[in-house]
Structure 1
């Protein structure tokens, strides 16, 4: 291997909240295949970019793909009722992915199915996009103070995680499999090949690869020739895998758990990635014997599918590690918000929180994540052979890289060290061991927990001493909450309620979930103790509406060590508001034609109205204007009041002639300004982009159906000076 100089390294950065996406329909077998498979573009799980919708809260979902927990119901029968088609199934979760016909919105269809009690949950598939790279500084002098294997790795030295004492004590992750749910890692890399577990997974085609060359050939098909550049769509997963499992063989770098084996599951492929591929990868990883799952990805929103997949792992004693995210702010990100997972924040070379690292009360521990030296994919020579090791001609072999994407796998590797020594520990015990042996002086609270770094920097020397001493934390526990809403007709399940557990004290852990169709919120593998329980229904970013339509509850709940979800008694919470209305009444109907237009005048804001009740609803409002009046009309819809309406607005004169129109002026809400040409009556036409965008508002027949009870809007008309 060629000797490396730090100056030759390429500084490459990717975020923890990686993402990707693409749509069609045939069906895929649920039995994994063991040879060559088609590319993602041929998969029924691809996503049509035209079907991607962004909500008021910034969540991104697929309008025509519905994820359903069937609760024993026939997937084909349900798809037929919806006029759609079954795209795929995950039998372990009793989940199906259903492609919907044009005009149906997965979010509103999902709520309807839940409200009717037909399924355990139904939701649109969430998707992720890759974020912009994190910009960081150069590697500091501390990096060369200690060398592991051949190349300098500051993250593992005595000033940081201090791995050598743990390795010397025999804690190397031997016998532990770690799943890398990420990019399709380059298993041929000389630092990774010795510790590849012998299987790699493409969830888009449900294919398991067992030969290095077959996997590399597949990488080349989906990514193009690797000798063209270091491509982000495989770069990230290679770096993540090397953080955990790089072999300690005197060459290149070494992973924090150098005797662990890794299983790559490739969720990030060209285009977009949806939570269905993630869930399928989680199930595959658990079924292959993974004891730790690393998830260096994330985004906004709540996914009941990801929650169920993570619970599948946790309930089988699999430790789940997630990156906190790189949003630079305090917030919850999916899946870092979920109960039972270990959320990892990123530190810089000075053991201070990185500027980009997402923070909050859900953070568990912190690890290095700025300018860490990790593996990068290898190039292919013109003759088809693969170069080995580092070359200075473009980043082949190794890279400096930054993000909570890499503090996460340092944490996952630590979990592997623990489980190699104590394989019977549950996921909470693994988490708590890290927290109790962390360096609490790191962060803003030298005495203990803080929101920026959790319980502090992982210290493997202290962890090794604790493992040798043998006194382990108590086991985790479980909790269930049953939410009901009292209505004039009786009690109904409180679906889509937000349920949050807050541990007592400044360092009390926080977990958040959403209720299912039966009103249950489940918390798996969490810290024992007393929590404040907060419940509120429903999520207005989904249904739209005003805050006063929500009801809330605050109380206490106790979690017992060793309790499991199947036997714990649920706590019943009764609310009086928040039942989802699937048959709203539009106060302005009928106003589907100009001659039926509802009156509006300057300075008015309408009550909440709906594009609902027919496949291609149009709403007309009339006002009087004078020549020279400069008017502004605004449709407040998905971006401002929530709900599902991507509005479209048209201004017409008294003869029906189109004077102006607008689709998106403010994050998919519509707004237009216009100077009126004459005295007279004018008309504002409100509808959905799905119905009118194809014809710029002229011909609804050229569009698609859009009929959702969450197509809410408020129309405002002003005269500008």
Structure 2
């Protein structure tokens, strides 16, 4: 690097690209793109998801990021864009842009179900015997303990006429086999690939898409728990007269949050009344939450498996408001060791060694398999029994009908309200739809910041609703707790939640994003009453104002313009600058100048994201008076402390320059990084 002369900013950038090293990333092949991990977030390389208010805002966002459009979901006003460079950092460029509700990298936090060791099937097609099984476990041809009178009690529901007829259940998973003998007659006639936006209406076309992939078996097992026909052969699903719609979100890798959201919307628009989601991960995605909100707002029941983490924790999508989270139970109706659990769990269903259908491209027949992936579809099937009997039942009414008819009818963090019992459920349904529980609530919270400078949108705030009377630490306490994040309009939505009185807790923008002092974040504690029967069109509304620093989307840099040697800001040893920004132009380089003597050991430190918050992954250069790069640094501790520091002994008396920019800009001659949260302070000391 040494010996290159700084003739212009462009030549500096070109020279730096040759020696800059990219941050450590994990590359995993998937379809159709490459997944990377940046700042601990798994996402698709070079892809950003944008929620927009109107076409003008979207086009402005595209121009600002120099992006190209890949696809969009009109119902959600969301677009998938391709960008150059780091998608995580590119998404931050749009923070606060008028008309943009959110911008996030195209998330890939979910792993394929086959990666979960408890979900591997054990194929038993030729070895299954009915001998030794109680006769009440033979509901079709093969023994199914999950459906017997000591577990789900399926026959008690069927005998009263509750089999799910007329209800369509979407299987949002890997591609379910529509030709399996137990599933063919209950296929709804459509199947969907959200990546190519292709709807298949023939079995041959769908099988051609699947292409005999040995890693695609999960969706078939899941679909059969719901919709396997009761026809005297093989097995029966819990709702044997439902129709199922396959939506392929694993191909075999996870297709990404955008395509999952597109698949959810497609399923709702194509008649699904119940969505089963036997998948999940960690983190929070605005787009997927909005997609599920779209389903809930349209009266569609959403079920999600709790996860197989063995922990008391909240995973998504099971933890989103309004979703029915299912834990897995064993043959004794106890929670399995592997099942995720917690206050958010609604109920439990069999999930250990359940007998389900194996896809024909893997030999057909049946197999034993374990995981909350299979308690989930049993729960979705029970929900379908309700929707068939009471089509106008709201998602919350369906949830409470399931919860109030369990074996236990009492709450625990391990199984929610208990193990499902469709015989009890049928007894409730036989009383008519007026016997269903009270409808739930839809809550909208609007957050604003105020201070001596005025009133500002409540961007990036966290909102928690905690039911009154919560007993912290009590494992039998069912008091609901919900959490959501505001968009750039300051709005947070809670669909289909428990009616009643809540304590509401709001915290202003996360300082890990915006930077600043803890007292600048601002908090609010108050109450609200969620009204039964409130809807998306007429929600329970709460206005919250935080006495907090506004999220400054157009900050002033006191040292600008300092974009070259001629404009460099003078520094003296012992100086710590005011807050400055890499902001205001796509490729900002901030120049500072100082005088030094031969033998001076200088220490130049950039305090940025790792120390003061914000988004700046800094990069620092030391130049001599002729513009030669003497030293440079990206991270003080690679992968851990992303601030920059140079310790260097000056070779001669003279004038020197320190140049601050971002890693994104330094690593590519065309990449831009222009976030209002790219804040830093520069310190220069003489160490000897």
Matched, 1:92 2:75: yes
Query: Any residues of structure 2 matched to 1:431-470 within 5 Å, and which?
Result: 431-440=399-408, 448-470=410-432
Which of 297, 300, 317 is equivalent to 1:335? Answer: 317
**Counterparts of 1:515 and 1:585, CA distance in 2:** 25
**Counterparts of 1:492 and 1:531, CA distance in 2:** 25
Matched, 1:295 2:280: no
- 1:361-400 deviations in whole A, cap 9, x for unaligned? 22211222333333333337xxxxxx5x33xxxxxxx343
- 1:106-130 deviations in whole A, cap 9, x for unaligned? 43234222xx3x2444444333341
Matched, 1:283 2:265: yes
Which residue does the alignment assign to 1:112? 96
- 1:7-42 deviations in whole A, cap 9, x for unaligned? xxxxxxxxxxxx9986xxxxxxxxxxxxxxxxx64x
Is the deviation greater in 482-491 or in 144-153?
144-153
Query: Any residues of structure 2 matched to 1:125-144 within 5 Å, and which?
Result: 125-130=106-111, 132-135=115-118, 144=133
| 1:168 Cα offset (Å) | 2.5
**Counterparts of 1:520 and 1:248, CA distance in 2:** 47
Which of 149, 156, 162 is equivalent to 1:171? Answer: 162
| 1:718 Cα offset (Å) | 12
Query: Any residues of structure 2 matched to 1:43-58 within 5 Å, and which?
Result: 47-49=33-35, 52=36, 54-55=38-39, 58=41
Structure 2's unaligned 5+ residue stretches are 1-26, 123-128, 470-476
**Counterparts of 2:628 and 2:218, CA distance in 1:** 55
Label 1:641 to 1:261 Cα distance change in 2 as closer, same or farther (>3 A).
Answer: farther
Is the deviation greater in 142-151 or in 406-415?
142-151
Label 1:287 to 1:674 Cα distance change in 2 as closer, same or farther (>3 A).
Answer: closer
**Counterparts of 1:675 and 1:73, CA distance in 2:** 48
Which residue does the alignment assign to 2:665? 691
**Counterparts of 2:64 and 2:622, CA distance in 1:** 38
**Counterparts of 1:626 and 1:138, CA distance in 2:** 71
Label 1:77 to 1:582 Cα distance change in 2 as closer, same or farther (>3 A).
Answer: closer
Query: Any residues of structure 2 matched to 1:3-152 within 5 Å, and which?
Result: 41=32, 47-49=33-35, 52=36, 54-55=38-39, 58=41, 60=43, 64-71=47-54, 73=56, 75-76=58-59, 79-80=62-63, 82-100=65-83, 105-113=89-97, 116=98, 118-130=99-111, 132-135=115-118, 144=133, 146-152=137-143
Alpha carbons 2:121, 2:369 under 8 Å: kept: no
Query: Any residues of structure 2 matched to 1:413-562 within 5 Å, and which?
Result: 413-440=381-408, 448-470=410-432, 471-505=435-469, 506-562=477-533
**Counterparts of 1:415 and 1:340, CA distance in 2:** 14
- 1:673-721 deviations in whole A, cap 9, x for unaligned? 9997899999987643323346xxxxxx4x622222233467899999x
Label 1:346 to 1:302 Cα distance change in 2 as closer, same or farther (>3 A).
Answer: same
Which residue does the alignment assign to 2:552? 581
Which residue does the alignment assign to 2:182? 191
| Secondary structure of the structure 1 residue equivalent to 2:272 | coil
**Counterparts of 2:658 and 2:331, CA distance in 1:** 58
Structure 1's unaligned 5+ residue stretches are 1-18, 23-39, 42-46, 381-386, 391-397, 442-447, 695-700
**Counterparts of 1:663 and 1:497, CA distance in 2:** 29
**Counterparts of 1:716 and 1:249, CA distance in 2:** 77
**Counterparts of 2:161 and 2:177, CA distance in 1:** 28
| Secondary structure of the structure 1 residue equivalent to 2:361 | coil
Which residue does the alignment assign to 1:153? 144
RMSD of aligned residue pairs (Cα, Å): 4.1
| 1:417 Cα offset (Å) | 1.4
Alpha carbons 2:502, 2:527 under 8 Å: kept: yes
Alpha carbons 2:51, 2:76 under 8 Å: kept: no
Alpha carbons 1:323, 1:336 under 8 Å: kept: yes
Alpha carbons 2:110, 2:279 under 8 Å: kept: no
Instruction: Report the count of equivalent residues.
Output: 634
- 1:441-479 deviations in whole A, cap 9, x for unaligned? 7xxxxxx32333211211222212222234221112222
Is the deviation greater in 286-295 or in 269-278?
269-278
Alpha carbons 1:103, 1:615 under 8 Å: kept: no
Is the deviation greater in 164-173 or in 613-622?
613-622
| 1:319 Cα offset (Å) | 0.7
Which of 329, 344, 359 is equivalent to 1:377? Answer: 359
Normalised by the length of structure 1, the TM-score is 0.76
| Secondary structure of the structure 1 residue equivalent to 2:583 | coil
Alpha carbons 2:609, 2:642 under 8 Å: kept: no
Alpha carbons 1:20, 1:128 under 8 Å: kept: no
**Counterparts of 2:96 and 2:187, CA distance in 1:** 45
Matched, 1:706 2:673: yes
Label 1:588 to 1:360 Cα distance change in 2 as closer, same or farther (>3 A).
Answer: farther
**Counterparts of 1:632 and 1:91, CA distance in 2:** 53
Alpha carbons 2:449, 2:545 under 8 Å: kept: yes
- 1:547-584 deviations in whole A, cap 9, x for unaligned? 33211111111122222232245221111215212234
| 1:320 Cα offset (Å) | 1.0
**Counterparts of 2:335 and 2:490, CA distance in 1:** 38
Label 1:318 to 1:613 Cα distance change in 2 as closer, same or farther (>3 A).
Answer: same
